[in-house]
Structure 1
Amino acid sequence: MIKNWTEQNQVCTPEDTITLFYPFAGPDFPFANAFYPYAKNYLFIGLENIGEIPDISEYMDIETAEFLNSMTEALSDFFTEGYFKTQTMKNNFRKSNFNGVVHPLLFFIYRTNHTITGFNYFVIDNYGKPLFVERLEPLDKRIKGVKISFEGKYGEKNLYYIQVDLSNDNYKESRELTTFISNFGLKNVFLKSASYLLHQSNLSDFRQLLISQANKIIQDDSGFDFKFLKENNCDIKVFGNYSRTLNSFNNYWQPDLNAEFDRQNAKKLPFRFGYNVPFDETAIIFATAKPAHSIDYPLFRVQFKMSWHKLPIDSFPKNFPDIDFYFDEGYYKYTTGNCKTQDECREILDMVRKNGYKDAFIIEFQKDFRRNFQ
């Protein structure tokens, strides 16, 4: 049902094979797969333990029964309300034989008609690359993850789950995480039952990274703030109905989003999604990034600064024309000038170097690639 709806509304098409990025996902593979079945890679991030796979073949009957009972308990919220509850997962994953997201992830991948072909733990090295290991050591302070490979109707796929805290204090110290995420390139983003974390100031750094690398965004009201999407020049369509939040999230009610549902005369959806399922409401916000202005390629600019933190444009010299940035390989890269030829850009390059940016250089932007001129 969801797959048919996404294709009818051009939310997802067979061309949408780029990575699906699902922050705050936990083990929610079913919805990610339903909305974006053509993705080649799924990138999940959560706080929940990764876990280990026990050798069930060595279990006594009572141990097998306990394991299956743990699985049933872990999935109960998902099957009744459509999402996982953080505290419930923490409690469920404390058991020695059922200790992380790998158990429900493997279950869901198998139950969605996929064959599992690979399972590898990894840590992220200082350069943002996955370093595969036999097992995850508790005393290893590096960011940990698991890669699950599988295949099905739409070919070979990989799911990466990494366990990490995305709050600003931790994120600023994890340059390798930014690089790891950025290495997946442009992504479709999926946000569901996300506790309104991206509305909060202590996730502002990750929020900016996420919007800068987003192609299409599917979310409920707990993802990006509606105002934030408008401020970032997104085209927005809404589907379903939105008239309230859960009592525990009253502070995150968005009157302007409610008005947008009225303005677009959004129609009720044929499936359940998000926190408002108990109220028989499903709200979907579908956002696509759009350029602030059309670009006439080729375009030549002078690149003069890069930083793995976003810097305010007004912190640079006032005489630098048309300052902009792009995000590449984990860095914000700042450029100035809009020139049709390389020769036209040399005067700006000289001016930028005289302002102290001795390593500045000219960069050519084409529609599908960039080329540097030192």
Structure 2
Amino acid sequence: MSLLRRRWLLPVALLTFVACSERKSTPTEPASPPAQAPDSATAAQPKPAPPAPADTSDVQDVAAYLAGLPVKQASALRPLSARPEWQRFAADADESWTNYHSTRTEKIEAWARQELDSVRRTSPVVFYPFSGPDLLNAVTVFPQSDAYVLIGLEPVGTVPGQASLESPKLYNAVKTSLWSVLNFSFFRTNSMAVDLKSLELDGSLPLILLFAARTNHQVTDVKYVRLSPEGQLIPADSADAKSKLVPGVEVDMRNADGHEQKVYYFSADLSDWKLGQTKASILQYARSLGPLTTYVKSATYLMHKSYFSQVRNLILERSRYVLQDDSGIAMKYFKPSDWQFIHYGTYRRPIPMFAKHYQPALTAAYQDSVNKARPLPFGTGYNWRVNDSNLMLAKRLTGPSS
């Protein structure tokens, strides 16, 4: 067995254990949203104190260092990158990412060029709810968009400082956090709740920076922001401490072609009851962005549930395109008169822990002999194996509502 497989892959037995551990922590869906105890996947996270202003003068070097890539010759991190432990971490990371790009990135890029060419040319804003810090898949599928709006329960975090970068625990923390997304294409919510609350990785931002570096982006600036109750983006230090404001971060970056792009990450619970507490400011903000291209995968079937109606309705009202796996919006919510569908891959049943979200209507769509499903040459979502995965592209037939 290769070094890469020993370090980054687990046998099927361990994967089964992972699924079991998730199942144990997933409660039975209530008939109506509970007043005080929402679904565990959306349990309210402790609110950290507003972060200090970011020192972004060398943020690209921090991103590169976290990614196991070379830093500038004059960088203050140069001595750290000369340490044997970082050298081993970087070599291991290179091997892992080389494997990832050959088995996933190249296949996704080839598929997207063929199947999403017109979609990508008309997708200035990619809206990715329930994403966590997964910038990786967003920029791989939609590489030329102007803005990516990511939303997850994980705290925003900060640009790692000297103490975090010098910590001997950093390298293992990075490996642990990346394990599931590099092997199975998704983050595990319950694991991330633990992984991103350490000294070394205190939230989503460090992984977003890492993904930017590993997708050949140059990070140029980081700004901590918040959303006002009206859905306006404001600097974090102008926030009213008494208001229930949604914390976020803006990452400015430049891709390999020189295209300036922005990544926004917001730490927000998208359940209806929690949106009521924040005046749905995250949805008001999304409405201000113009027509959206929505991307959803590995979303724990939350928008199948009655108490995620507000975010579901926003997507259906404001999206020009929706690209999702079966864990996104259930087929029954799409009006056939408003949407055209293209199905990719294979749909059988959700994995056992989500069995109750099986969709007979989706099975029927995949069995349509006239509009046959198209091939999907890579794995994605909870059914992560190549021949078990599915994606659906929904194209709006009429303009998004205002």
**TM norm structure 2:** 0.68
2:276 corresponds in structure 1 to: 172
- In 1, Cα distance between equivalents of 2:202 and 2:118: 34
1:210-268 Cα distance to aligned partner (Å, 9 max, x none): 11000111100001101212456210010111112100000011122112112133244
Q: Could you tell me the percent identity over the aligned residues?
A: 26
Residues in 2 aligned to 1:149 and 1:67: alpha-carbon distance in whole angstroms: 24
Q: Which amino acid aligns with 1:110?
A: A
1:143 aligns with 2:246: yes
Alpha-carbon displacement from aligned partner over 1:310-364 (angstroms, at most 9, x marks no partner)? xxxxxxxxxxxxxxxx854xxxxxxxxxxxxxxxxxxxxxxxxxxxxxxxxxxxx
Which position in structure 2 is the counterpart of 1:366? Answer: none
1:265 to 354, 372, 377: 372
Cα deviation, 1:156-184, whole Å, max 9, x if unaligned, reads: 00000111111111223414333211111
How do 1:1-374 residues align onto structure 2 when only pairs under 5 Å count?
1-10=107-116, 12-13=118-119, 15-56=121-162, 58=163, 63=167, 65-133=168-236, 141-154=244-257, 155-173=259-277, 174-231=279-336, 233-263=338-368, 264-278=371-385, 280-291=387-398, 327-328=401-402
SS at match of 2:254: strand
Higher helix share: 2
Measure the CA separation in 2 of the matches of 1:157 and 1:110: 13
Residues 109-118 or 251-260, more deviating = 251-260
- Aligned pair in 2 of structure 1 residues 14, 98: CA closer, same or farther (>3 Å)? closer
1:50/1:145 contact within 8 Å kept: yes
Calculate the TM-score normalised by the size of structure 1. 0.73
3-state SS of 1:69 partner = helix
Q: Shift of residue 153 of structure 1? A: 2.9
Q: Cα gap change, 1:15/1:68 in structure 2, threshold over 3 Å: closer, same or farther?
A: same
Measured at CA, do residues 14 and 181 of structure 1 come closer, stay the same or move farther in structure 2, by a change above 3 Å?
A: closer
Q: For residues 255 and 186 of structure 2, what CA distance do their matches in structure 1 show? A: 24
The CA deviation at 1:129 is 1.4
Question: Hey, what's the Cα distance between the residues in 2 that align with 1:208 and 1:60?
Answer: 42
Which consecutive residues of structure 1, in runs of 5 or more, have no partner in the other structure?
Answer: 293-325, 329-374
Structure 2 counterpart SS, 1:75: helix
Cα distance, 1:139–1:278 mapped onto 2, change above 3 Å: farther
Q: Whose strand fraction is larger, Structure 1's or Structure 2's?
A: 1
Equivalent residue of 1:126, what SS?
coil
Say which is worse superposed, 134-143 or 27-36, in terms of deviation: 134-143
Shift of 1:141: 3.1
Distance 2:198 2:242 in 1: 19
Summarize deviations over 1:40-74 as a string: whole Å, max 9, x none.
Answer: 00011111111122223x5685x1x2112101101
The verdict on how the C-alpha distance between 1:53 and 1:180 changes in structure 2, with shifts beyond 3 A counting, is same
Letter in 2 for 1:25: S
Contact 2:345 2:387 in 1 (8 A): no
Letter matched to residue 249 of structure 2 = V
- Cα deviation for residue 95 of structure 1 reads 1.1
Provide the aligned length of Structure 1 versus Structure 2.
Answer: 292
- 8 Å CA contact retained: 1:46, 1:162: yes
- Deviation, 1:25, is 0.4
Cα RMSD for the two superposed structures: 2.3
The one-letter code matched in structure 2 to 1:236 is: F
Checking the alignment, whether the CA contact within 8 Å between 1:236 and 1:286 is kept in structure 2 is yes
Mapped partners of 1:98, 1:255: distance in 2: 41
- Given that 1:233 and 1:291 are in contact with CA atoms closer than 8 Å, whether structure 2 keeps it comes out as yes
Distance 1:271 1:213 in 2: 28
Distance in 1, matches of 2:300 and 2:313, equals 18
C-alpha distance in structure 2 between counterparts of 1:13 and 1:286, whole Å? 10
> How has the CA–CA distance of structure 1 residues 140 and 101 changed in structure 2, closer, same or farther, with 3 Å as cutoff?
farther
